Amino acid sequence: MTGQVWWYVARSSGIVALALLLAAVTFGLLMSTRLGARFAGTPWLLAVHRQLGGLAVAFTGVHLAGLVLDDYVQFGLGDLLVPGASPWRPLAVAWGVVATYLLVAVQATSLAMRRLPAGLWRAVHLSSFVLFWVAALHGLTAGTDATAPWFRWPLVGAMVLVAGLTVARLARVLGGPASRERAPARRAAPQPVPQP
């Protein structure tokens, strides 16, 4: 192995984690807007959304491990766990630290969704909007590829896509019941017939 292998691991896994996060957020927004209304109740779509989030966590873990094992900048655990602690590009690294915490919180509450109050789950899950923007800022300000056109322009395009879908989502929420498709009324569960 060359001395740069961990640098390549850190770079590539960070880019993949960001792409997976974009895909997870995009799937979530499509499911919650009219744009994806016909697929909103499809179980496989929700499963893909959840798997993308889990993979984003896994690749973020690989990204962090690659940064610790690479000897060029020499990140310590404190540099990667405390926002602003890194002497190397402290603000850019801080965006990544905050994004990591938000990603773990969103994924952990998604896994525990059935055991959490709906309001708590929704509040944490809505932070995925902030998560995407913080992760995008990290991508645009940190690392070797931040200024490379092949990285920067697709990321800017992804930001435009998420912004557009967010506007569509907000329009649906703020438009009130008339702008949303009415959900079919839930049928009451059949009551057991008393036996004599």
The pTM of the full predicted model, rounded to 2 decimals, is: 0.84
Per-residue pLDDT reduced to its tens digit, 19-32: 999 999 998 888 88
What phi and psi values does residue 135 have, to the nearest 5 degrees? -65, -40
Is a pLDDT exceeding 90 seen at residue 141?
A: yes
Q: What are the residues whose beta carbons fall under 8 Å from the beta carbon of 82, sequence distance 6 or more?
A: 97
Q: Which residue has the tokens 């994924």?
A: 107
Q: Sorting pLDDT into bands at 50, 70 and 90, what band is 193?
A: very low
50-52-57 Cα angle (round to 5): 100
pLDDT at 1: 54
Secondary structure (3-state) at 184: coil
Q: Sorting pLDDT into bands at 50, 70 and 90, what band is 33?
A: confident
Q: What are the residues whose beta carbons fall under 8 Å from the beta carbon of 61, sequence distance 6 or more?
A: none
